[in-house]
Structure 1
């Protein structure tokens, strides 16, 4: 008998750490796992031990010269020839600096995503989650946006190579899922969908509605760029309308989703103004689509999210609660201000630089109204209509 959902994890994911002042910090993963365990929602029966990705698997997305550079920079200290090439391969800036043992650790992150894919495709479970993954910015021969290897692209390439699966990739990170888009830009069997803050104002500066794929992949790439300060109502309208129409049209064999949670108003690295409400609804929408079109096959990854104390643990836990059909999801639906476990708050508050939230969702009564709400909504709807012009409405 298969499990309802499995949680893939490799301890090396906790060592994917550039430095203590870097916004991409593994403490967010520790906080999430501890919260789920405190709830009794995660135990040994749900856990799936992940493996390291092989070089053959990495080569399906990354160039051999790039992998060689990552290996070279992983040594402490690196040889001079690797240091001289660091800028060329994306490791010279502050975003993605090299660190010791980088190749091994990043390969284990990729292996966790492949492990999750394997669990679903071999029937161990209809759903699998790997929160250590979701590194969607890395390119074939360049690190970018805190991402060394693109575990998402390698996992999708694994799906294509071993199962000939038709894949719908859903990216809800505030930053455009550029690395995954470019990896499959000419592939008609991989549809890449990204809803994000417009690249006019935010890294990586891509993800506009006219990026629709190329050659045989034309039409299998959909971008929904949103205006800064977009709030819940507009965000959810654009997401529901677009992803439901796209899934009905594309009819995938499996859904792969990336759950960056940096569209929250508290996140320091984007300008969107959403609340925990979207992170309660996103997994439920994808879950329903997976059962409607894919016989339940759904693989989910983590991603961005830089308010590591107040936002990420709640948002990522909500993915697992939905995926595993935990009864707490229904409780939160009936009472958005359901309390977080006091023991978890007490354990981590002494380490947190900010007051931890008391409830699963945000109390919006205290939030300020965005003055340009109507104008923002109008612009978002305009982008939505352009993006969906070739996809029929659901009757």
Structure 2
């Protein structure tokens, strides 16, 4: 079955303010790049639906949903805004917030239904991936946690076991804590160690509680980790997790903020990792879950030099298209190069003239290997 791509321009309206680093223009840039390159056409694209309050309530409390709705219309007091995390620098309230956030959740659920009802075996909704939201509080650029809602939706509506894979540089804390005492949703997160980066959680010893003990898997990697070490840790641990827990379906969050050009993290990945990550997840789905794979977006704050090219690789992996090389489509370059205030990338692959050599490479790789060995030992218990 051909994969499907969930998108419409309404998804671009999730916007805190004009100076906020979370900028959904990256979603349009990615879609245009794929279209201009001939990899995405109208018959691939499915328009999303809006999530209902009942669907949001799979994870979020009723009072929080009402608070988000009120805040989006300027009807929440300063005290209540603070209570619900809707007045922070990271996650301030904005006009029609509930409706715009519910649209992102609806897009993710559209992708879920496409796969779970057999219309396709792979679906991509790059608007989603908001993994920091909690049941009753906004956090880390995230209001409604579409990824957690999607996992719960799969578990409850379809009765299937979900493996949630999170490769964002930031730990997927909101999803982890939602399912920390459950075994029908396995959460896997590989991320920069919380010693240096928000949200500060995601240690290897966070493994779940009660019947969910062991069903939370964290791979915290050291700052300045490069491609080779990241891919070793990722591939060895992920396949072991899939083999151990035998999920029915994979849902992956694909933040690309571990890239060396991202302004908000301290990892040192290049396009090599982002070419391999989705192709390895695809292989895991094809080998172990009958091909069932739902993918969403996530972090990524260099919207010109990083996100469009890296996110494009997810769709290309779903389509079984080889990694492209050489110049980007001329129509895409002409459309956006003059609008870009930094050096505009014109090649699919990274040029590395601005890559800083890492003097602690061996030490960093050894620390990551120790973490990998520790987690693999946990999985054997």
Q: Find the counterpart in structure 1 of residue 207 from structure 2.
A: 212
Structure 1 position 366, deviation (Å): 6.3
Residue 118 (str. 1) matches residue 113 (str. 2): yes
Q: 1:6 aligns with which of 4, 21, 27?
A: 4
Task: Tell me if structure 1 keeps the 8 A contact 2:260–2:355.
Answer: no
Matches within 5 A, 1:87-126: 87-126=82-121
Tell me how far apart the structure 2 counterparts of residues 381 and 273 of structure 1 sit (CA, whole Å). 17
Matches within 5 A, 1:171-250: 171-250=166-245
Gaps of 5+ in 2: none
Residue 378 (str. 1) matches residue 366 (str. 2): yes
Residue 369 (str. 1) matches residue 357 (str. 2): yes
Q: 1:303 aligns with which of 283, 298, 301?
A: 298
Q: Find the counterpart in structure 2 of residue 391 from structure 1.
A: 379
Tell me how far apart the structure 2 counterparts of residues 285 and 386 of structure 1 sit (CA, whole Å). 22
Structure 1 position 364, deviation (Å): 4.0
Task: Tell me if structure 2 keeps the 8 A contact 1:10–1:51.
Answer: no
Tell me how far apart the structure 1 counterparts of residues 48 and 29 of structure 2 sit (CA, whole Å). 19
Structure 1 position 13, deviation (Å): 1.3
Structure 1 position 325, deviation (Å): 2.0
TM-score, normalised via structure 2 length: 0.98
Structure 1 position 24, deviation (Å): 0.3
Structure 1 position 342, deviation (Å): 1.9
Q: Find the counterpart in structure 2 of residue 39 from structure 1.
A: 37
Show CA shifts across 1:285-321 (max 9, x none).
Answer: 0000001111000000000000000100001111001
TM-score, normalised via structure 1 length: 0.94
Tell me how far apart the structure 2 counterparts of residues 300 and 83 of structure 1 sit (CA, whole Å). 36
Task: Tell me if structure 1 keeps the 8 A contact 2:214–2:379.
Answer: no
Q: 1:325 aligns with which of 307, 320, 323?
A: 320
Tell me how far apart the structure 1 counterparts of residues 369 and 88 of structure 2 sit (CA, whole Å). 36
Tell me how far apart the structure 2 counterparts of residues 302 and 85 of structure 1 sit (CA, whole Å). 30
Tell me how far apart the structure 2 counterparts of residues 212 and 162 of structure 1 sit (CA, whole Å). 26
> Between Structure 1 and Structure 2, how many residues are aligned?
381
**Secondary structure of residue in 2 paired with 1:391:** helix
Structure 1 position 365, deviation (Å): 6.8
Residue 360 (str. 1) matches residue 348 (str. 2): yes
Residue 350 (str. 1) matches residue 338 (str. 2): yes
Tell me how far apart the structure 2 counterparts of residues 52 and 196 of structure 1 sit (CA, whole Å). 30
Structure 1 position 390, deviation (Å): 2.5
Task: Tell me if structure 2 keeps the 8 A contact 1:72–1:82.
Answer: no
Residue 279 (str. 1) matches residue 277 (str. 2): no
Q: Find the counterpart in structure 2 of residue 57 from structure 1.
A: 55
**Secondary structure of residue in 2 paired with 1:246:** helix
Tell me how far apart the structure 2 counterparts of residues 57 and 224 of structure 1 sit (CA, whole Å). 30
Which stretch shifts more, 97-106 or 346-355?
A: 346-355
Stretches of 4+ moved more than 4 A in 1?
none
Tell me how far apart the structure 2 counterparts of residues 90 and 158 of structure 1 sit (CA, whole Å). 25
Residue 257 (str. 1) matches residue 245 (str. 2): no
Tell me how far apart the structure 2 counterparts of residues 210 and 322 of structure 1 sit (CA, whole Å). 32
Q: Find the counterpart in structure 1 of residue 81 from structure 2.
A: 86
Structure-2 change in CA distance of 1:143 and 1:183 (3 Å)? same
Show CA shifts across 1:218-251 (max 9, x none).
Answer: 0000000011100111111110110011111111
Tell me how far apart the structure 1 counterparts of residues 314 and 378 of structure 2 sit (CA, whole Å). 30
**Secondary structure of residue in 2 paired with 1:389:** helix
Structure 1 position 382, deviation (Å): 1.2
Show CA shifts across 1:64-94 (max 9, x none).
Answer: 111011011010xx13x53321111111211
Tell me how far apart the structure 1 counterparts of residues 353 and 54 of structure 2 sit (CA, whole Å). 52
**Secondary structure of residue in 1 paired with 2:42:** coil
**Secondary structure of residue in 2 paired with 1:170:** strand
Q: Find the counterpart in structure 1 of residue 327 from structure 2.
A: 339
